[in-house]
């Protein structure tokens, strides 16, 4: 990737997006995409306005009314087909992730594999949405537990895993009968276009309503629409602890639900009995994998004083 000229890189991106099924414009917009691989600007694509975001929520809310009535195994077919398309275009989407997140191609394709795996999981869940039956104190009666979809789910994802986190939320939400409006990091808009296009293809091929899935592109200002709209029943947000502190009270103030996946401050503990070579390999990967940009990145070491100097060296 690094040996390509700028024009070759742009062509590689265009080819990858086309393979995923994206047919929109890649120029003349107000959202500038860049690559951390070289620091170069890529395409200026069209972002989403707040008005357009509200329209998407309206469409998703309307689609939800019929999508929730679709049998769960049939909903699972959409996710199954999405997983098949992701498998077919694993390298194409991996290229987009590599360009925008700066990952090695093996790490980028590994992230797409996580999408494929969650589709397999959610497909199984589509036939496992069980409820309990319980005895009642009234003669001749039993109580039945039934799970219902919640509504429109807003997904806000971060740049470090630009497509995997989106799929974790979306595959399960769709199977449960919810519709999805996704606001990815503005730093990874091209990856989002590719991932969303593949889901749109799956929805179309399965003969379902395209409005069960929407994509919002832009900065935090447009993403805030998801926080404040009462029709968004659940906001699932991944990012910094600071972001979570802003999202949680804002959604809670309208009695919405939120699901937060935030940054960690994980520590490794190394005892005198540890295999230091093994510990060192684990520490380096845990601290430096994905350039340290993981929710589970190791940030601290707690080492016994008898081995501290040796381990540090």
User: Minimal CA–CA distance to 36: which of 71, 1, 87, 65?
Assistant: 1
Q: Strand 257-262 relative to strand 31-34: parallel, antiparallel, unpaired?
A: unpaired
Per-residue confidence in pLDDT tens, the chain, 313 aa: 657 899 999 999 999 999 999 999 999 999 999 999 899 999 999 999 999 999 999 999 999 999 999 999 999 999 999 999 999 999 999 999 999 999 889 999 999 999 999 999 999 999 999 999 999 999 999 999 999 999 999 999 999 999 999 999 999 999 999 999 999 999 999 999 999 999 999 999 999 999 999 999 999 999 999 999 999 999 999 998 999 999 999 999 999 999 999 988 889 999 999 999 999 999 999 998 877 788 888 999 999 999 999 999 9
How far apart, in whole angstroms, are the C-alpha atoms of residue 80 and residue 199? 10
- Tell me, what's the pLDDT at 2? 58
State how far the Cα of 73 lies from the Cα of 250, in Å rounded to an integer.
35
Number of other residues whose CB lies within 10 A of the CB of residue 295: 15
C-alpha span between 175 and 177 (Å, rounded): 5
Whole-model pTM above 0.95?
no
Tokens of 208: 């379902």
- Residue found by looking up tokens 């199977």 in the block: 175
Which residues form the catalytic set?
261, 295
- Domains along the sequence of the chain with CATH: 6-129+146-262 (3.40.605.10), 267-312 (no CATH)
Q: Tokens representing 89?
A: 């275009």
Give the containing element (helix H, strand E) for 180. Answer: strand 179-183
Alpha-carbon distance values, 225 to 38, 68, 176, 222 (Å): 33, 23, 23, 6
DSSP string, 117-170: HHHHHHHHHTT-----EEE-SSTT-EEE------SEEEEE--SSSTTHHHHHHH
């Amino acid at each position: 990737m690094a040996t390509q000229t700028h024009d070759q890189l742009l062509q590689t991106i265009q080819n990858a997006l086309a393979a995923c099924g994206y047919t929109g414009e890649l120029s003349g917009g107000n959202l500038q995409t860049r690559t951390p691989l070289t620091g170069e600007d890529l395409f200026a694509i069209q972002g989403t306005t707040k008005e357009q975001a509200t329209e998407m929520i309206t469409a998703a809310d309307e689609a939800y009314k019929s999508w929730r009535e679709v049998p769960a195994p049939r909903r699972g077919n959409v996710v199954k087909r999405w997983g098949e398309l992701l498998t077919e275009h694993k390298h194409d989407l991996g290229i987009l992730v590599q360009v925008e997140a700066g990952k090695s191609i093996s790490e980028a394709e590994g992230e797409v594999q996580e999408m494929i795996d969650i589709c397999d999981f959610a497909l199984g869940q589509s036939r496992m949405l069980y409820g309990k039956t319980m005895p009642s104190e009234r003669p001749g009666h039993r109580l039945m537990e039934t799970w219902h979809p919640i509504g429109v789910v807003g997904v806000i994802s971060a740049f470090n895993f630009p497509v995997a986190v989106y799929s974790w939320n979306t595959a399960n939400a769709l199977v449960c009968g919810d519709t999805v409006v996704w606001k990815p990091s503005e730093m990874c808009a091209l990856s989002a276009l590719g991932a969303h296009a593949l889901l749109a293809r799956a929805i179309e091929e399965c003969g379902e309503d395209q409005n069960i899935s929407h994509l919002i592109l832009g900065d935090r200002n447009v993403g805030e629409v998801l926080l404040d709209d009462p029709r968004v029943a659940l906001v699932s947000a991944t990012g910094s602890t600071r972001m979570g502190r802003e999202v949680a009270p804002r959604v809670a103030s309208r009695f919405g639900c939120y699901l937060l996946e935030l940054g960690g401050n994980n520590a490794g503990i190394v005892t005198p009995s540890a295999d230091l070579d093994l510990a060192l390999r684990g520490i380096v990967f845990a601290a430096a994998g994905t350039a340290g940009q993981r929710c589970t990145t190791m940030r601290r070491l707690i080492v016994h004083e008898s081995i501290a100097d040796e381990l540090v060296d």
